[in-house]
A = this chain, B = another copy of it.
Amino acid sequence: MARTGANVQTDVDRILEAIVYLYTESRRVTKESARAHGLTGPQVTALKILEGFGTLSLSELGARMSAKSSTVTGLVDRMERDGLVRRRRSPDDRRVIHLEPTPAGAALAASIPVTAMEVFQGALTSLSKDDRAELTRILSILAERVRVEIDRRENLGD
């Protein structure tokens, strides 16, 4: 274990801790902003995605939100209940359900600024330009590596 030295583990810990913190806070901030409009965080996320695409299937929405289909079902149930979106069965493929915002949902989406992450924007702009670019670059690499690693494991494990 720890072939590469103990300080790697320290970095892992620090990075993980920072990521967890940043994620938690980003969700909290989003939630707070959503709340001001009578919505929840995921609902705003979904509405904003729909606003961009107009119509999406449940699975497409789920993919863009990194959520499983059963989660999306529940989310959409509540959004439909609250008159934000409408389900419509696809004529092409009867398994598929298309989702579109209602006028009310669309209006609400438009009224919510994308600045749910103002806090991050503030923090990120306070970084130097170089640091920001570096962060983007390295995080992208990291995400890609993790993706690959997970794929590898799944193909081994099963």
Across the interface, A124 reaches (CB within 8 A) one of B15, B24, B66, B124, namely: B15
Q: Does A78 contact B (CB under 8 A)?
A: no
Once the chains are docked, how many angstroms separate the CA of A38 from the CA of B52? 41
Q: Interface range on chain A: under 10, 10 to 19, 20 to 34, or 35 or more?
A: 35 or more
> Which B residues are in CB contact (< 8 Å) with A12?
117, 120-121, 124
Give, as a whole number of angstroms, the nearest-CB distance from A149 to chain B: 5
Interface of A, secondary structure class, is: helix
Q: Does A136 contact B (CB under 8 A)?
A: yes
B146 touching A120, Cβ below 8 Å: yes
Q: Does A60 contact B (CB under 8 A)?
A: no
Q: Does A156 contact B (CB under 8 A)?
A: no
What 0/1 readout, one digit per residue, does chain A (63-88) give for beta carbons within 8 Å of chain B? 00010000000000000000000000
> Which B residues are in CB contact (< 8 Å) with A124?
8, 11-12, 15, 142
What 0/1 readout, one digit per residue, does chain A (1-32) give for beta carbons within 8 Å of chain B? 10010001101101110111111111001000
B113 touching A19, Cβ below 8 Å: no
Once the chains are docked, how many angstroms separate the CA of A146 from the CA of B135? 15
B138 touching A123, Cβ below 8 Å: no
4 residue pairs, one from A and one from B, having the closest CB atoms: A123-B145, A23-B23, A18-B139, A18-B143
